[in-house]
Amino acid sequence: MAPAPYVVPQVDSAAVFKPEIFRGKVLFCTGGGSGICRGMTEAVMRHGANAVILGRKLDRLTQTAKELSEATGQICIPAQADVREPKTLQDAVRKTIEKFGRIDFVICGAAGNFLAPISGLSENAFRTVLEIDTLGTYNTIKATIAHVRAAKGSYIHVSATLHYNGTPFQAHVSAAKAGVDALSAVVAVEEGPHGVRSNVIAPGPIGATEGMDRLSLKAGEHRAPAYPAGRMGHVDDVANAAVFLFSDAAAYITGQILPVDGGFEHLRGSTVPYPQAVLDPASVAHMISPKL
């Protein structure tokens, strides 16, 4: 019988990184009102940064900002903005500078997603997701770059792994995220000599997020996918990657894409039962050679 698979622990970044590494720094995060971006903001704040979170829904942002301030003892303020509207981003940058005087870190995280076959996807629907994800990332970079240069700061762009292959019903997001990856690489090269780093975090399936709720079948509706890391991702896994990439420990890392998916992406080609086959090769002895 196969032994139980190892399940990687869920780690708090405070157990690995010093609490003060971001003291005096300021984070500007689009999409910070909920989900993965909220989690990344909270983690960066726990290490001493103040933050501005942006989104379209002011009620939700205001509530999240209050909760993050209470949870971390740092200051978080909301700024209503639509990343498709450069003017709203410029206003949010102005508000950030008035309040904190600088922008060190930017998370370009605002995104739109839904499942739709390309045969049924309207031109406007395709354009809308490209405008939020790709144009929105460009707009955010443009609005913040002068301040990030001044701070010798760093960008993290939230992408995905689904465009590394053909993912059904995700033409719009695949195209949009490929553009995000490309923008980050250009920022790394153009802005590196000015002291700015730019990297991409590509989350795999992350549990308990709005995206997962809407974009995947519920447990029991399909065979649960297997992960080399033994479990589905958690918001904290992505948050820990953000803390690392913003930290000086990543000073020599720029222009890179960091999938945070527990190895999930590499499993697409598996033709044997996983992880049972690697934990108990005898269970597939008839399929492998040399014979055990």
Active site residue 177: yes
Task: Single out the catalytic residue among 13, 159, 184, 198.
Answer: 159
Give the residue from 47, 148, 24 showing the smallest Cα distance to 93.
148
Q: Does 116 bind ligand COA (CB under 6 A)?
A: yes
Per annotation, catalytic residue among 25, 177, 184, 198: 177
Site string for ligand COA, 127-166 (x = CB under 6 A): -xx--x----------------------------------
* Nearer Cβ to ligand COA (21/115): 115
87 is catalytic: no
- Segment near ligand COA (CB under 6 A), from 38-46, 70-78, 123-131, 184-192? 123-131
- What is the torsional sign of CA 30, 32, 37, 42? positive
Q: Is 15 exposed, middle or buried (0-12, 13-18, 19+ CB in 10 A)?
A: exposed
Q: How far is the CB of 145 from ligand COA (least distance, A)?
A: 25
Distance of alpha carbon 235 from its chain centroid, rounded? 9
Q: Does 5 bind ligand COA (CB under 6 A)?
A: no
Q: What CA–CA distance (Å, rounded) separates 167 from 265?
A: 12
Q: How far is the CB of 160 from ligand COA (least distance, A)?
A: 9
Q: How many residues bind ligand COA (CB under 6 A)?
A: 13
Q: Three-state DSSP class for 88?
A: helix
Distances (CA, A) of 260 to 5, 150, 185, 239, 242: 19, 30, 18, 10, 10
Residues 177-236 that bind ligand COA (CB under 6 A): 210-211
* Positions marked catalytic: 159, 177
